[in-house]
Amino acid sequence: MKKFYNDNLSHVPISPLNDNVDEKLLDLYMSPKIFSMCKDKGAFTQKNKRVTKYKDVFQTDNKMNRRIFLQGEAGSGKTTFLGKLALEWCKSTSSHMESSKNTDLKTIDDQNKLSSSSTYHEQSDMPCAWSATNDDSDTSTASTVTTELSDKSRASFQTTEESDISSSYESFSEDSDSSCYSQAIGHTNNSSNIFADVDALQDYIFVFYITLRNLVKRFEVHTMIKEQIIDSIYSEDDREKAYRLVNEIMKRERCLVLLDGLDEWAGSGDHHNLPTLVSVFNQCVMFMTTRPWKLAEGKVKHSEIDAVFQLEGINEPFELSRIILSRLVAKAELEIKHKAFKRYIRNQKLRKLISSPMMLSVIVCSYAEGIELKGSKCEIYILLLESLLKKANSEMRTFEQSPSPCFRGTQYIQPNMERLNRLAEMAFHLLFVNAKENSLVFNITELKKFKMDERKQQDFALKSGILSAKLTASTLRSLSSFMFIHKSMQEFLAAYHIACNTNLIDDIISIYLNRHPKAYLDISQVFIFLCGLDISYAEKLSRMMHERHALDTNEYSNNHMCNRIVLAGYREANANGYSNISLKLSHFYINSNNIIDLHKIWENNAANAIELYIDDMKPFENRRTSLANDECASQITFDLHSCLELKILHLTGRCILVKGKYQKGTFV
């Protein structure tokens, strides 16, 4: 089995968009950020308590958890965590499995004989409420299980097949080529002590790793193990013997069943909302991963849940980015490239995104291919959007005529355009039409408005990971609340919807800006995305935002914020190939990091300028305008002849030339 896991779990793709390029999981693995959750008013809410040990996952108050759930958003690292756990079990139990090779299965057979005509009692040391009807039962009372073996079954254990099964147990337990695994485990780069208590895994005789999305309408765990593990390891002649052996082991030994992707599992359609273990396997533990929306559906009873944990991504994203880069760039360039990558993340304010391994890999791979040099957020989010859409529908098709320059060359967006357009429309209306308190977290009523409540549409949005769902805390009824995977993804889709509809700025956004006095600051990310998607609409929105800013109190902080927003929008437009960009700005705060880009904006806004603040103490030699622009200059000239509104002028530096003469409050 260890060889089977090493062959199937030991490698992971570097990029979500290309499954063919993979690396050893243990080389790429980074410690996860996992938090425990507690029940509060009918829902599970995240506690501040960080979980860093396997023991704290498997036990609560010194009692073993029988049904464990690890939930996290798309791409947060759930599958990788389970794969790492399975591989660590292989290593930690090597010596244990060695001693188990000589297990005398005749002992098992003798026990079967004794129990075939009578009942035996097992005291479970892992109490768990299996259903709501058991809530009032005494969990300390031993469960009574009747084991009946047919005469034919008993005979089979007494014949020469016994030695064959014993051989199967030996091969099932021991890796025939342990060097492969040893080589993989030796390359781990994560030296932290998080989840380092691998000895906790030795409590389990076997660990069964099941991928649920591949088991349509199967609900019995032992059947899943047979179809996905036993049938993959053994030839047809040996499968039945191995299956019977595993069945006996699961009756008597503590086993851990890892079930990956509960949200991707299609059960039998009846009352089976979870994979089930028959009651005779009462020492087995199920550890399931899922996205939050699956538990939010309310179909899984609280009595069926012993522990829930929240995975919030990885602990050291920059270290993982360095490892991924080392596979993509020349060794001599690694340090320089990685330092530049970290600067890029800081400058583009993407720090919150890179805790997700999937988002991080998209950003790093795009950087390695040169996309980072343009500094385009739109391209990053389109790459991310492709990786999410691919999860729900892997059909590939390119655009004959792209709706935006950013969509050129994409492969997974065109086949999903209808669904994507609905999601984009909903994202826009939630931000600009709904009440602010319902703009980010919403209920099924909002889905109905945009025909997203239909089963196929909702499943697509949830399975792709673009939408997430959680159970609303309420003791009266089970209600699900929905949200986009990240607010920035909602803002990107809203900007895309604006770019596809010419009337929205005048008809809806203008009303929104009138209703909320400082909303011109709140919509900054939508504006920046729009600059990359369609600059003409962004210029129109820029003028509208400038008008609202002029009506504001002109607080110093708001002026600075507008300066940053317009600068970011200009850079996004520039990164996406737009020229002659005309964004509106009246307050200029210029330093050595933005002087060339803001000078470009100044050229179209000198007549509107109210404040010009320049503090550039560094020589201007060989400085570029932005990550996307190779233009250099040895000096910058600010022409003040047309500055009819200028009220504040502050100049500091050696490389600034000013034309014009100040006379009677203006420059002439």
Residue 388 has pLDDT above 50, yes or no: yes
Residue 139's pLDDT is 36
- Concatenated DSSP letters for 278-315? -TT-TT-EEEEEE-HHHHHTS-S-GGG-SEEEEEEEES
User: Percentage of the chain surpassing pLDDT 90?
Assistant: 36
Average pLDDT of every residue of the chain: 78
Q: What is the mean pLDDT of residues 370-380?
A: 70
Give yes or no for residue 165 having a pLDDT over 50.
no
Which ranges in 354-416 belong to alpha helices (H)?
A: 357-368, 377-392
| DSSP of 45-111 | EEEEEEE--HHHHHEETTEE-SEEEEE--TTSSHHHHHHHHHHHHHHHTHHHHHHHTT--HHHHHHH
Task: Give yes or no for a contact between 43 and 472, defined as CB atoms under 8 angstroms apart.
Answer: yes
Say if residue 261's pLDDT is above 80: yes
What confidence tens digit (pLDDT) does each residue in 516-562 have?
777 787 888 899 999 999 999 999 999 999 888 887 665 666 788 78
- pLDDT tens sequence across 263-320: 878 666 567 789 999 999 999 999 999 988 777 666 788 889 999 999 999 989 999 9
Residue 72's beta-bridge partner residues? Answer: none
| Strand pairing report for 18-24 and 32-40 | unpaired
Helix axes 105-116 and 236-252, enclosed angle (nearest 10)? 70
**DSSP structure class, residue 137:** S
Neighbours of 632 (CB within 10 A): 12
236: Cα separation from own chain's centroid? 39
Instruction: Yes or no: say if 604 and 573 are a contact pair by the CB < 8 Å rule.
Output: no
What average pLDDT does this structure show over 98-106?
A: 45
**Assign residue 364 a region: left if phi > 0, alpha if psi is -120 to 50, beta otherwise?**
alpha
Digit-coded pLDDT (tens) for 179-190? 333 333 334 444
Query: For 407-416, what is each residue's pLDDT tens digit?
Result: 888 899 999 9
User: 556-575 vs 595-603: helix axis angle to the nearest 10?
Assistant: 90
Residues in the chain: 668
* From 137-146, 187-196, 417-426, the region with the lowest mean pLDDT: 137-146
pLDDT tens-digit map of 205-230 = 999 999 987 786 788 999 999 999 99
Type of residue at 517: P
pTM confidence score: 0.60
Neighbours of 424 (CB within 10 A): 23
Q: How far is CA 288 from CA 46, 71, 275, 312, in A?
A: 18, 8, 10, 16
Q: What is the pLDDT of residues 143-160, one digit of tens each?
A: 333 333 333 333 333 333
Tokens for 413? 């967006």
Beta partners for residue 662, in sequence order: 667
**162 pLDDT tier (thresholds 50, 70, 90):** very low
Give the Cβ contact number of residue 52 at 10 Å: 19
Residues 6+ apart with CB under 8 A from 366: 372, 379, 380, 383
Q: Which pLDDT score is estimated for 553? A: 60
Average pLDDT estimate for 560-589: 90
Q: Give SS3 for 659.
A: strand
Q: How confident is the model at residue 331 (pLDDT cuts 50, 70, 90)?
A: very high
CB 176 within 8 A of CB 3: yes
